[in-house]
Structure 1
Amino acid sequence: MKDRKTTHPVQVGVPTLQSNLQLCTMNFSSNPNPSPSLSSESGQSIYSTYLEHSRIDLQGEDANAHVARALRLVIQNVLAQLSTTLVVTISARHLGTSYWFEYMMHNLMDSWRMVAVQLLRFRPDLVDNPVPGRKRVNLVMVDSYAGLMDTNIAESNADFDDPDYYFIFLQTRDSHIPRELQLILDHCLAHFWLHCNVMIQTAQVEVLVYTYYPYTANSCQQAHPVVVNAFDGQRWMQNSKMFPDKLNQMHGCPLTVLTWHQPPFVEIVESPSGHGRRARGFEFQLVEHLARQMNFTLQLVDIPLLRPNAYRLAEGAKEGPVDTLLQRRANLSMGYFRRTARRNQLLTSPMSYYSANLVAVLQLDRYRLSSLALLAFPFQLSVWLLLLLALLIHLGLHLPGRRSNHDGGGGLQVVGLLLGAALARLPRPWRHRFIAAHWLWASIPLRICYQSLLFHLIRMQLYNTPFFSLEQLLAEGFEGICTANTERVLLEMPLLSRNPNSFHSVDTFSDWEVLNALQRDRNGKMFAVTNQDVTQAFLHSFSQTDAYHVLKQHVNVEYVGIYMPKHSYLYEKVDDCIRRLDTSGFIHAWRRAAFVDDHWKEQVPLASRRYINHSKLCGIYVVMGVMYLIAGLVFAGELILRRRSWRAFKF
């Protein structure tokens, strides 16, 4: 067969089998028992066709059996362990090589166990009929790099994140092997085919398997052929994996990390040495751990963030993080990069290592009880009505006695007893004395309870019942503020999509600044939608946990992760590392430390909000002032009347 190979150009049309797709169940046993007549007839037909078109007699049958045994062991021990479905693709520009591949497939079918096979054939004499769909584990037989391009496998697998496997059998002249092998491996590197092996057969019937390592001690992002295995006729000589781990040691090769200032996730600060800028923060700590474990270096690319509608994917004109990753100008991107369905469709993201609730926050000042309302709050309305009724009854009992015995201040004495004032003069009738004593002793428990409850209410800073759901806030005419990215997430919710004007985005990318804007607002009916962890850090840093109300109903949940170009070969390794860190608890510890770091805290005022100040007692001051004013007016009136009576008596 080696002497019959040719590389004459043939018209390319990406042809396929008549049905182009055969799902068949093949006998994968060592002692098959096929129908003698059917097996012999089909085998004789394929063999005679091959003799006619390709002259198989030029390569000995022992060489064909040698190659078939090598492929059979690969299928049994490697490919069948990865998936129960195998995609076998035959693509050749030369018909003779195509017939030889089909003959090899016939030899393999007689010795396979039960396995589902998707068989695709691409030949110049067949009509193009592409078969879309996922092709995860592939056995590809080609005679050149052009034959591999005819299969369009890269387009079929480009939209998936999980890794796929390619075992490519390249059958061509020995003089063409180096060039075709290099082209195929370059194709694997360009399309992120990390698990890509190429098997060749030389004229001396040597069966070798080549692969590439994208990161080596001498080169980075290069696909140099490396022999990983050889077949001795009975077994593969290397006991290691046919698809080795290629990212366990990256030899210090640089990876471009696209990020931006988004504390506490990523903070861009000036280097202490004054040479450039460096990053720190929760997410950067995670990436640094990945760099140490996989031995790669970081090249930071710091970009200033714009509003989402300024980017190309949002019908804008500027290039943003998503565009940069789509153009493969960066390997990783992070910085509170929230996962969305659209981003997951365009890019690849491993396991999300951070999730938090979006909560609605509003100030409690608008629910604070007024000073006068606070004085009436300790007792319910029924208690106040009964107390007023008792006061009127006692006034009714005292006022007639005042007119009969001309004792002044009977009504004021009743009010004074209620407030705990002593009597200046005891009433003469014993009936009035008994009523006064009863009124005095009965008012003592009321006064004690009222004063205790009033002090407790002022101490605990009780408020009116706030809202518990987002629907109640919107129904009362409240307007929400948030970042532009959060607004885009909220508008995807059915409740908020019907009220797009109920939210306004603040020109910032930090939830911390959104809470500062809420703190500056004193009059409007406004609430903020922010990250729950950022909200708690903000409230604790200013010791204002009692000044804000966080709705119990969560608005939404957001997930944060690392994004990379679609189908990136870094996905599998990074995802595995993140899962191990999450299981061991490291990510939770880094996350907790990031939100309680000292640089998030600010100076707490010396006068804490939990201490009673004069503003909380202004209601009592108002009542006392009114009472002193009335007393002053009464005193002034009595003084004027006394002077007039004195002058009348004198003259």
Structure 2
Amino acid sequence: MLKLLIFLLLINVSASEIKDFSMPNYSTAVSRVIIDYIKNFFLNVTNTVNFYQMSLENNLNVNFDIMNEVLYNVKTKTVVQVDSFEDSKISIVKHYVNIIFFDCFESFEKIYKKMTLKKFDYQGFFLIIITTHMNDIYKTMHRIFDALWVHHIINANIIFMPEENNNEALIYTFFPYSRFYCENVVPLQLNHYRGQKWINKINYFPHKLQNFYGCTLRVATFPNPPFMIINQDKITGQVSVDGLDGTMIRVLSQHFNFNVQLSLPAELWGDIYENGTTTGAIKMVINEEVNMTLGFFATNPSRDAVMKSGYVYYTTNLVWIVPPGKPQTSLQKLLNPLDTNFWILSSITILIGLLAIAILKKQKKIVQNFVFGTSMQSPGMNLINIIFGGSLHHLPKRNFARFLMGLFLFFTFILRSCYTGGLVKFMQMDTRGKRVLSTAEMLEHNFTFYMYPSSRSYFLEMPQILERTKFVTASEFNSKLKQLTVDPYYDAAFITSIGHLAYRNLLVFPHRFHHHAPEALYTLNIVIYMHKESCLALPFNSAITNLVNGGLVSKWASKWINGKYLKEIVDESPDPLSMMQLEGCFQLLYVGLIMSSFIFIMEVFVSHKKGIKLKISKNIKTIKINLRKYFSN
């Protein structure tokens, strides 16, 4: 009872023209066919059927009679929305199942003009009912199908009664691709309803895009390894495609039996400007110069607003390619084997020891002998000697002094062992400095960012990056990127995907390596883009889903995109020590020699100066003595 009330309410609200809804008192083959379609097909697709009617030749009652009969027979089966199009409103949910009643082509045109993409799902089902007899019925059907094909509506059937025969109904449709023509409209009889049954086995809406019969589909793309690789035979001139996207379109062409005609836009992906103009592959799709485009096409809101995206078949991340770490100084190479905290604690321990020696030096001799041992002249130098592994020629004789020396020997032994082991391991590693790890760090160091113009849309909410960005062409991108790999002082970062990065490293291995920051900036969903009204999306999405779920796309990707090339492969084979590795030791030696030489010169100078003073003072004393003797005599 509740369903009936809802049904009557819908009829009352949406169909103001139907004043009386009463039980019909006649039956036609057309109405029985419509009822059969609703009960046996549409109910499996949706729970709502949309009715539209239009009459320009005073045949309104004929339309309503057929509609009344259909409504009466399906009132408990489904919800029916009736719309005359006189006051058409944009629906929140696009209409998917539609039955249209009209009496002439002009009536259909009025309905057709209001069949916008905002209200209708063009990949839905359209059952078109011609309610009156026409002498030029075939021509009318051709015009109707032509109009529908403009919007790529292919799930459309026309039903009409043969002249003066209400017990029969003919069903016509069209196939845009066949072995005789491509992208053309030819009305073909689908079935014949006579009496109470179908003449042929019923196929309500046959699949029309499972076989393209060798027809040509136009594809906009461009070289973009490893996703789209375009090869041309030097002898025959035949063009073939490879790469992840190339393999995808090649497999789809084999599955659906179509040929591929490539169009190479100079502007690559193209741009979408605020004034509505477009360029590149995007423009070709919108203007229907091509059927689709692919070649590392990632979804974003601006593209989705003007084109229809297919099923996501690959996902990757955008990252920054950054310069390699700056080379470490010789002193850093000596200090880095151990942690900073280790050096701080060790230094504090040694300083405490030297400070204790300095304090004890001012104590009584008996205290010094107890701690240092008897006849130990330079305890400070002995401490430094022990730190560097030197030997003591005079050992302390007292037990407490020997105990302290043993503790310090044990401490320095562990210290030297840890340092030696860490230094050996450190020499086997990459001794470059730390790379930048985040966008914030790059901004802090005033990095310049390089990217293609098509990447701009990903950073619209990051003006601080766009302010420092330079948009470059593919050739400029590659030349500057080559400089980045060899110049650690080049403060720049290049935007790329993980897939492109792995492929670039594969090409330059083992001579160079492109480093990247671990921060993922944006997740890219790779799809095929088609015209907003394209009918190719459903069959292609079904096939792509099977390829993804079957693991084939991942297998194709692994051929060109290998994760092992995202990490630098360092040669760990043993090598003889080089001067570069020991440079810090020699520098310390030279610094020590220079300092000791300077101190020696100062000592000689001071001692010489003292000697001169002493000699002068002796001479003065001698002169005084002689003068005294002289005056005393």
What is the CA–CA distance in structure 1 between the aligned matches of 2:99 and 2:137, rounded to whole Å?
A: 19
The structure 1 residue matched to 2:388, chosen from 395, 415, 419, is 419
1:354-398 deviation per Cα after TM superposition (whole angstroms, max 9, x unaligned): 1112224434514x6533234334223122121233245557879
1:490 maps to 459
SS at match of 2:322: strand
Aligned-partner SS, 1:522? coil
Q: Return closer, same or farther for 1:609/1:271 CA change in 2, 3 Å cut-off.
A: farther
Change beyond 3 A, Cα 1:286–1:306: closer
Q: Residues 378-432 of structure 1, C-alpha deviation per residue, up to 9 Å, x if partnerless? A: 223122121233245557879999xxx9999886555333212345x54798799
Kindly indicate whether residue 543 of structure 2 is the aligned counterpart of residue 577 of structure 1: yes
CA contact (8 A) 1:307 1:484 kept: no
Return the TM-score normalized by structure 2. 0.79
Displacement of 1:121 after TM fit?
2.7
Counterpart of 1:447 (choices 407, 416, 434) is 416
Asked if the contact 1:512/1:534 (under 8 Å) is kept, the reply is no
* Structure-2 separation of matches of 1:372 and 1:453: 15
Q: How many angstroms apart in 1 are the aligned matches of 2:247 and 2:231?
A: 14
Partner residue, 1:186: 146
Which amino acid in 2 is paired with 1:419? F
Q: Following the alignment from structure 2 to structure 1, what is the Cα–Cα distance between the partners of residues 407 and 587?
A: 30
- Residue 260 of structure 1: how far off its partner (Å): 0.6
Conserved? CA contact 2:309–2:529, under 8 Å: yes
Q: Determine the C-alpha separation between the residues in 1 that align with 2:575 and 2:292.
A: 47
CA contact (8 A) 1:137 1:166 kept: yes
CA displacement at 1:171 relative to structure 2 = 3.7
Name the amino acid aligned to 1:387.
Answer: I
Provide the C-alpha distance between the structure 2 equivalents of 1:247 and 1:187, rounded to a whole number of angstroms.
19
- Tell me the distance in 2 between the aligned counterparts of 1:275 and 1:269: 9
- Give the equivalent residue in structure 1 for 2:186: 224
2:332 aligns with 373
Q: Is the 8 A contact 1:358 1:555 kept in 2?
A: yes
Partner of 2:612: none
Pair 1:25–1:245, CA change in 2 (3 A) = farther
User: Which of these residues, 592, 613, 627, is aligned with residue 627 of structure 1?
Assistant: 592
Contact 1:22 1:117 in 2 (8 A): no
Rounded to whole Å, the distance in 1 between the matches of 2:474 and 2:285 is 23
Q: 1:99 to 1:105 in 2, by over 3 A?
A: same
Q: Which amino acid letter does the alignment assign opposite residue 45 of structure 2?
A: L
- Counterpart Cα distance in 1 of 2:111 and 2:135: 24
Among 449, 456, 459, the alignment partner of 2:428 is 459
Matched residue, 1:81: 44
Shift of 1:564: 1.0
- Closer, same or farther: CA 160–98 of 1 in aligned 2, 3 Å: closer
Structure 2 unaligned segments of length 5 or more: list them: 1-7, 369-373, 610-633
Contact 2:321 2:516 in 1 (8 A): yes
Query: Is the 1:398–1:410 Cα contact (8 Å) retained in structure 2?
Result: no
Distance in 2 between the 1:571 and 1:610 partners? 58
2:159 corresponds in structure 1 to 199
Match of 1:23 in 2: 10
Residues 476-506 of structure 1 deviation map (CA, whole Å, 9 limit, x = unaligned): 5444333322232122x3xx13653144334
Q: Which letter does structure 2 place at the counterpart of 1:626?
A: V
For 1:358 and 1:480, the matched residues in 2 are separated by: 13
Q: Is the 8 A contact 1:478 1:526 kept in 2?
A: yes
Return the letter of the residue paired with 1:615.
Answer: M
User: Contact between 1:270 and 1:277, CA under 8 Å: does it hold in 2?
Assistant: yes
Equivalent residue number for residue 629 of structure 2? none
RMSD: 4.4
CA contact (8 A) 1:213 1:224 kept: yes
Q: Which residue is equivalent to 2:517? A: 550
**Counterpart-to-counterpart distance in 2, 1:201 and 1:643:** 132
Q: Distance in 2 between matches of 1:525 and 1:615?
A: 25
Q: Is the 8 A contact 1:93 1:147 kept in 2?
A: yes
The Cα of 1:635 is off from its aligned counterpart by 7.9
In structure 2, relative to structure 1, the CA distance for the partners of 1:82 and 1:512 (3 Å cut) is farther
Question: CA offsets per residue over residues 147-178 of structure 1, 9 Å max, x none?
Answer: 21101366423687771111111244442101
Equivalent in 87, 90, 105 of residue 132 of structure 1: 90
Alignment match, 1:91: 54
Matched AA of 1:90 = Q
Asked if the contact 1:135–1:157 (Cα under 8 Å) also holds between the matched residues in 2, the reply is no
Aligned length: 580
Q: Percent identity?
A: 19
Aligned residue in 2 for 1:4: none
- Output the amino acid matched with 1:504: K
Within the alignment, does 1:271 sit opposite 2:233 as a pair?
yes
CA contact (8 A) 2:226 2:503 kept: no
Indicate the residue corresponding to 2:318 in structure 1.
Answer: 358
1:99 CA drift (Å): 1.9
Asked if 2 retains the 8 angstrom alpha-carbon contact of 1:200 and 1:207, the reply is: yes
After TM superposition, list the pairs within 5 Å mapping 1:452-531 onto structure 2.
452-461=421-430, 469-475=438-444, 477-491=446-460, 493=461, 496-497=462-463, 500-508=466-474, 515-516=481-482, 518-531=484-497
Residue matched to 2:65:
103
1:518: Cα distance to partner?
3.6
- Higher Cα radius of gyration: 2
| 1:260 and 1:305 in contact (8 A); partners too | no
Cα distance in 2 between the residues matched to 1:159 and 1:265: 36
> Is the contact between residue 324 and residue 515 of structure 2 (CA under 8 Å) also seen in structure 1?
yes
**Which residue in 2 is equivalent to 1:68?**
31
Give the residue type in structure 2 aligned to 1:104. I
Describe the shift of the 1:536–1:169 C-alpha distance in structure 2 as closer, same or farther (beyond 3 A).
same
> Secondary structure at the residue paired with 2:583?
helix
1:534-592: CA deviations, max 9, x gaps? Answer: 334445654699984533x4222111110111121111100110111111111111112
Cα distance in structure 1, aligned partners of 2:570 and 2:426: 23
Q: Shift in Å at residue 140 of structure 1?
A: 0.9
User: Secondary structure of 2:81's partner?
Assistant: strand
Summarize the Cα distance change of 1:93–1:160 in structure 2 as closer, same or farther, 3 Å threshold.
closer
Give the TM-score taking structure 1 as reference length.
Answer: 0.77
| Structure 2 match to 1:15 | none
For 1:40 and 1:161, the matched residues in 2 are separated by 30
Question: Tell me, what secondary structure is at the counterpart of 2:116?
Answer: helix
Distance 2:109 2:205 in 1: 22
Aligned to 2:556: 590
- Cα distance in 2 between the residues matched to 1:486 and 1:43: 62
> Matches of 2:321 and 2:70 in 1, distance apart?
67
Relative to structure 1, is the Cα distance of residues 613 and 248 closer, same or farther in structure 2, using a 3 angstrom cutoff?
farther
Aligned position for 1:252: 214
Question: Which whole-Å deviations, capped at 9, do the CAs of 1:619-645 have from their partners, x for residues lacking one?
Answer: 22311332344566678899999999x
Following superposition, the deviation at residue 139 of structure 1 comes to: 0.7
Could you tell me how far 1:320 is from its partner in structure 2? 1.5
SS in 1 for 2:529: coil
For 1:352 and 1:398, locate their aligned partners in 2 and report how far apart those are by CA, in whole Å.
80
- 1:406–1:66 Cα change, 3 Å: closer
Unaligned runs of 5+ in 1: 1-20, 27-38, 48-60, 123-127, 645-651
